[in-house]
Structure 1
């Protein structure tokens, strides 16, 4: 009889540990993976990495002063635009993850102290 109570207590705490590990660690890794996939999809269109690499190179191989100036300005605007888009995506993803991380705590709080709760 004593062994079964110890076993049940051990399994109870193990399941809580596994839930928290899967919820927070697994959820974080899934959120990071999904966010990186979205950023890579946007990078195919916005080409932030390519524009950063070739920022000081003339666009369309026009090596005149005007070609160099317009290439720098055009790529600079694209870098600023892409950076803003990336920033918005990262902020939205962080907000979604924070809501995901707070959800179990909120549910427990509402269950114990909310309207009609246990306490």
Structure 2
């Protein structure tokens, strides 16, 4: 799963969002590192819907334009939990190796 998809799942787990809302939340969560382009955003959203991980929540007209909101399904939430566990295990493994080599702070020192 790409970082973009992962962060989109997190954004949709918080609350239903329209496309621009997803873009803004991902930018905020990633501290500006991940900027979703429109093609990427809607390509991933279409795939999440096709895979049953997200669904349309509602539509509304805002300033004359249609906003379609998306929300995670139970399967999408489960996928997010599983991916989070996998990433956490990878971070634990890497930090153990780096700590042994003196390249990562001890737990009491905080993370760099």
TM, length-normalised to structure 2 = 0.33
TM, length-normalised to structure 1 = 0.32
Relative to total residues, which structure has the larger strand share, 1 or 2? 2
Relative to total residues, which structure has the larger helix share, 1 or 2? 1
